[in-house]
């Protein structure tokens, strides 16, 4: 009997060790402002360990640690390009025919803002919507990679809000204003490694009310397929980001509203809407 108990204890300890190993694989990278200085770091509980550079550019721990409460989180990446995928959940696509390849459009790096920053409701806008999305961060230069290779080029994932002006989206020649206006790309709060990006819950909450909620396993084109497809014609560089599509239905936002985007394991990306008209 004692031998059974001993074996069970060893088994439980082994399971605990495996769980600890799994947790150890999950790392949260942030970019933050400490006074006038901007740094990348690793968030660990209430502290942030400073890195010498972006982690995808070989950043190493400097030995300096700051309290999380004493710094301001910024958008966790500074991409050279911002790519996005449209209609990538059946719940958002509706009756449209499923495409053979991910439908791609562009946002601009100047659209990117960080957690708790303001989304500006611009002059001329009439129908501003949120779009909760999983965002992929590229870790190394990717050119013409296969779907099977694509995972090797993904650094981690974060949360994003593909803010969209529906009237402009419907009536302009391209989605330039509708998708890429200043502040239309909230991103953060952290870039997380070690998560299964193909099965995470993505949610939006407008003034506390859940508006979207679906798992990334329902993506029409999964993360690897998206990275591979983009890389066939565009070279992806470390720190570049891809918004992977939004689920379900969206609705209009108004100045004074608070929109929260949450990706499981990443955290909450919160923005408030301000009137720029």
The per-residue pLDDT for range 114-166, each reduced to its tens digit, is: 999 999 999 999 999 999 999 999 999 999 999 999 999 999 999 999 999 99
Domain boundaries, the chain: 25-74, 82-276
Q: What pLDDT shows up at residue 13?
A: 41
Instruction: Compute the distance between CA of residue 32 and CA of residue 34 in angstroms, rounded to an integer.
Output: 7
Structure tokens at 128: 């501003």
Dump pLDDT digits (tens) for 14-30.
444 434 434 458 999 99
Other C-beta atoms within 10 Å of 143: how many? Answer: 12
Which CATH code fits 25-74?
A: 2.30.30.370
Phi, psi at 184, each rounded to 5°: -85, 15
Dump pLDDT digits (tens) for 92-107.
777 778 778 999 999 9
Q: Which CATH superfamily is domain 82-276 in?
A: Fumarylacetoacetase-like, C-terminal domain (3.90.850.10)
Confidence class for position 12, pLDDT limits 50, 70, 90: very low
Confidence class for position 229, pLDDT limits 50, 70, 90: very high
Structure tokens at 139: 């870790």
CA angle 178, 179, 185 (to 5 degrees): 140
Cα-based distances in Å from 240 to 77, 96, 168, 199:
8, 29, 26, 22
Q: 237: which residues sit within 8 A by CB, 6+ positions away? A: 80, 81, 138, 141
CA angle 266, 269, 274 (to 5 degrees): 175
């Amino acid at each position: 009997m004692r031998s059974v108990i001993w074996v069970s204890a060893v088994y439980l300890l082994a399971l605990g060790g495996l769980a600890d190993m799994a947790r150890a694989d999950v790392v949260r990278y942030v970019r933050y402002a400490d006074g006038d200085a901007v740094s990348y770091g690793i968030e660990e509980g209430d502290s942030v360990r400073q890195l010498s550079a972006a982690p995808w550019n070989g950043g190493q721990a400097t030995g300096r640690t700051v309290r999380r409460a004493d710094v301001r989180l910024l958008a966790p990446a500074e991409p050279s390009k911002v790519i996005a995928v449209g209609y990538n959940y059946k719940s958002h696509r509706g009756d449209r025919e499923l495409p053979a390849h991910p439908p791609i459009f562009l946002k601009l790096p100047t659209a990117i803002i960080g957690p708790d920053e303001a989304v500006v409701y611009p002059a001329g806008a009439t129908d501003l919507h949120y779009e909760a999305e999983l965002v992929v961060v590229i870790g190394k230069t990717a050119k013409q990679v296969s779907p099977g290779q694509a995972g090797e080029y993904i650094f981690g994932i974060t949360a994003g809000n593909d803010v969209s002006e529906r009237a402009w989206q419907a009536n302009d020649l391209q989605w330039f204003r509708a998708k890429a206006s200043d502040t239309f790309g909230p991103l953060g709060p952290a870039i997380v490694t070690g998560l299964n990006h193909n099965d995470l819950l993505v949610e939006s909450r407008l003034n506390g009310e859940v508006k979207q909620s679906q798992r990334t396993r329902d993506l029409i084109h999964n993360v690897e397929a998206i990275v591979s497809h983009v890389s066939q014609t565009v070279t992806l560089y470390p720190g570049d980001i891809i918004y992977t599509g939004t689920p379900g239905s969206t609705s209009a936002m108004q100045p004074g509203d608070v929109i929260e985007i949450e990706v499981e394991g990443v955290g909450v990306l919160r923005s408030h809407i301000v009137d720029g008209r």
